[in-house]
Structure 1
Amino acid sequence: MVAQKLHGVALFSKARRPSGAGIYPFRMILSKVWGRRRANVTGAHHVSETVVTEPMTNPDQIGWIGVGKMGNPMATRLIEAGHRLIICDPVAENRASLVARGAEVCAAAGDVAARCGLVFITIPNDAVLAGLIDDSADAGGFAAQIGAGSVVVEMSTVSPHLSERVARTLARRGVAYLRCPISGSTTLARAGKLTALASGDLAAWEAAAPLLDLLAVRKFYLGPGEEARYMKLVLNTLVGATSSILGEALVLGERGGLTPAQMMEVITESAVASPLIAYKKDMIAQMDFSPAFSVTQMIKDFTLITEAGRDKQVPMFVANMILQQYTAASNAGYSEQDFFSLFDWMRGAGGLADPV
């Protein structure tokens, strides 16, 4: 099955939500999902240890782990739609606005897991996710506390290799796991206009789809495994490369007497225009690189990209070079600037002082 077909079949439309309530009854969906699983088991010859034999006891409670730069605006949208959230984040500043809107706070991710039937995760990196899924008896954390029949929707940009380990761990617990990295900025997150790239357990996709509808205007189900993780890396490769090649081109033009504003005006009306370049037009024209997505974050993503290339034995000549560019820019003081500040770093390498 292709993504577009599944996209059309699996999505729940807004029209199917109860009018006025803003809350989709995903208890009903989950009951059907797990009931279907139990029915499938009944007719099987062998029952594996990963089979869910009982439905979750608290299917209506939604949890959210990690409410930082992207998680906060997404969680806010669910609360504003009428959903009650239990959240966990170590940074009080991240939690404050959600608590003001009625969210309940748990100090530990394991407490969220124990109380919630559907849990969203938005965390910064592989290391944090690896800690969450330590299900050893003495860990007492998220994976050790989550109940059979629960649904986990992991929305971060993490390595496919780690995501596979998450899948195995959650399967042992009888938990449905949806890989669902999102593409878009904090501005798009606040507006509910992200792109959701999903793969994994189809039951989890069906359960989460009505809630994802509040967060994303484009949703793709790409397959049963790590397809969504690779799709996110594909997109981020192209996004990060855009800043690199555009920066070189702009430095050349500036050395030839053009201003950044002049060039961006022409580029955004040309055959090479794109939504990304249009979005960054004013940033470059004004040389204001306040971060929507930082150089540090891009280094993290390109590290994942190049590592995935090595794992799959794919030569990543350009991606490795771009990673070196972002690393050099970070070392030169651009680490917390927007990743399109690569242009400003390249200006220095090109012998330019302040913008013309």
Structure 2
Amino acid sequence: MADTLTLGWIGLGKMGLPISTRLAGAGRDIAGFDRDQERIAEAAAGGVTPAATLEDAAGRDIVFTSLPDDKALRAVALDGPLLSAMRKGAILVETSTVSPGISAELGAAAERAGILYLRAPVSGNAAIAHTGNLTCFVSGPRAAFDTFLPVAQDFTRAQKYLGTQEEARYAKLSVNLMIAVSAAMMGESIVLARKGNLAWQDILDVLTNSAVGSPMVHYKAKSLETRDFNSTFSCRQMAKDLDLIVGAGHAAEMAMPLATLTREIYGALIGRGDGEADFIAPVRLAEWLAGLGEPDLDKNDGRLA
């Protein structure tokens, strides 16, 4: 049955474009819509059927949204035509990182419209989205998840069903909190080692081969070998997610000291002009606070002397 499902994709941005073209490459019947005609053309080149309007993409068995923030989701799904354009009994799969609050609003509106709503934020970045190595956390009606699962397996390596309400939203925010705090810690640790006159590559090797050598540390150490700060997920995007994280924590009546401090680190990076740099850029801020310039890797391998 899953192979005959028709798919619609709304939002062909950094994540939506590679995921939708991967689904097309897997033989899925998928139509894509974005306000940017160039993105629609790129998706079409990857096998996605161009949708002239949002309504054309929404009239399918499973409709995905991949949108930048709460404001965009509200404009498309709550104030816009999405739900009214969908078939009753169709499945809406929302893949973005948004607040539990707006997600709950959408859940209530979808239920009134007879739409089955799955919260399915993906974990991973645009650099790997085309490879199928993303993961997704899912909450919503179990039967809808069972229908969606074969499609999810075409673009993710792991899928975790978590419950019927906003559990997936909290899971994604929890993961992103760990990533953000880890990036800030990694930056400060590297600069402490520089102050102790470790060579740049030596401290990266120490971190990756120690007890803290998580997959994220391994991944980011590789780009830091050449101080590559080209964005896979930007400081500005991380700041947005940290705002959601702190807001969710406060709504749950819990203190968020680490999240709040880390948000200020990313705010400082944005203020210094690093908003579009990769989220591992806290190393730059830590260097500046420590009175260090960027290491000359060619001349002294990052040592101070």
Q: Same fold (TM over 0.5)?
A: yes
Number of the residue aligned with 2:144: 204
Q: Are 1:125 and 2:69 counterparts?
A: yes
* TM value normalised by structure 2: 0.93
Number of the residue aligned with 2:235: 295
Q: Are 1:61 and 2:2 counterparts?
A: no
Which of 275, 296, 315 is matched with 2:255 structurally?
Answer: 315
In 2: Cα distance, 1:260 partner to 1:124 partner: 35
What's the CA shift for 1:26? 5.1
Runs of 4+ in 1 over 4 A off after TM superposition: none
Which of 183, 186, 201 is matched with 2:126 structurally?
Answer: 186
Which of 83, 86, 110 is matched with 1:170 structurally?
Answer: 110
Number of the residue aligned with 1:262: 202
Residue by residue over 1:46-77, the C-alpha shift from the partner in whole angstroms, topping out at 9 and shown as x without a partner, is xxxxxxxxxxxxxx321000111111111111
What's the CA shift for 1:250? 1.0
Runs of at least 5 residues in structure 1 that lack an aligned partner in the other structure: 1-23, 28-59
Number of the residue aligned with 1:304: 244
What's the CA shift for 1:84? 1.9
Residue by residue over 1:219-243, the C-alpha shift from the partner in whole angstroms, topping out at 9 and shown as x without a partner, is 1000010000000010000000001
Number of the residue aligned with 2:299: none
Number of the residue aligned with 1:80: 25
Maintained 8 Å contact 1:111/1:142 = no
Identity over aligned pairs, percent: 35
Maintained 8 Å contact 2:3/2:28 = no
Maintained 8 Å contact 1:176/1:203 = no
Number of the residue aligned with 2:96: 156
What's the CA shift for 1:111? 3.1
Maintained 8 Å contact 2:229/2:277 = yes
* TM value normalised by structure 1: 0.80
Greater Rg by CA = 1
Q: How does 1:80-99 map to 2 (within 5 A)?
A: 80-99=25-44
Maintained 8 Å contact 1:152/1:204 = no
What's the CA shift for 1:25? 3.2
In 2: Cα distance, 1:263 partner to 1:92 partner: 45
In 1: Cα distance, 2:269 partner to 2:91 partner: 40
What's the CA shift for 1:278? 0.2
The one-letter amino acid paired with 1:150 is: A
Q: Are 1:340 and 2:280 counterparts?
A: yes
Partner SS, residue 232 of structure 2 = coil
In 2: Cα distance, 1:298 partner to 1:26 partner: 36
Maintained 8 Å contact 2:21/2:48 = no
In 2: Cα distance, 1:267 partner to 1:307 partner: 32
Q: Are 1:116 and 2:60 counterparts?
A: yes
Q: How does 1:250-289 map to 2 (within 5 A)?
A: 250-289=190-229
Residues 1:266 and 1:170: Cα distance change in structure 2 (over 3 Å) = same
In 2: Cα distance, 1:66 partner to 1:252 partner: 42
In 2: Cα distance, 1:234 partner to 1:196 partner: 13
Q: Are 1:232 and 2:176 counterparts?
A: no
In 2: Cα distance, 1:296 partner to 1:26 partner: 38
In 1: Cα distance, 2:199 partner to 2:35 partner: 44
